[in-house]
Amino acid sequence: MNKAELAMEVARRAKVNQKVAKVVVDAIFEEMVTTLQKGERIEIRGFGSFVIRNYGSYQGRNPKTGESVNVTPKKLPYFKVGKELKEKINSKG
């Protein structure tokens, strides 16, 4: 499923037109991105949470050439699956 399909499904269920659903879906993702950019966490009960993890610099290697490269410090978002969703997904295995 991609963003357009997600918006279509929101439109179908909420009985709103697709343009409106697209605005809503975009607004939600934009809001989440802005929050992460500020370094704040996102917590959605029953779904999961996003936190920013800080990684220090380290010596890495270019896997193609084997050359040693210096990797600069970076921030990455980490998603922790909510307990309820985690159990639900695993129960279908």
Partner 1 sequence: MTKADIVDSVYERVGFSKKEAAQMVEMFFEILKETMDRGEKIKISGFGNFVVKEKRARKGRNPQSGGEIEISPRRVLTFKPSQALKKLLNT
For partner 1, the binding residues (CB under 8 A) are 1-3, 6, 9-10, 13-14, 16, 20-21, 23-25, 27-29, 31-33, 35-37, 40-48, 50, 52, 74-79, 81, 85-86, 88-90, 92-93
Determine how many CB atoms are found less than 10 A away from the CB of residue 7: 19
Q: What is the three-class DSSP state of 38?
A: coil
Nearer to partner 1, 45 or 64 (CB): 45
Smallest gap from Cβ 1 to partner 1, in A, equals 5
Smallest gap from Cβ 84 to partner 1, in A, equals 9
59-92 per-residue burial string, b: 16 or more CB within 10 A, e: under 16: eeeeeeeeeeeeeeeeeeeeeeebeeeeeeeeee
Cβ neighbors of 22 (< 8 A, separation 6 or more) are 4, 7
Nearer to partner 1, 2 or 66 (CB): 2
Smallest gap from Cβ 58 to partner 1, in A, equals 15
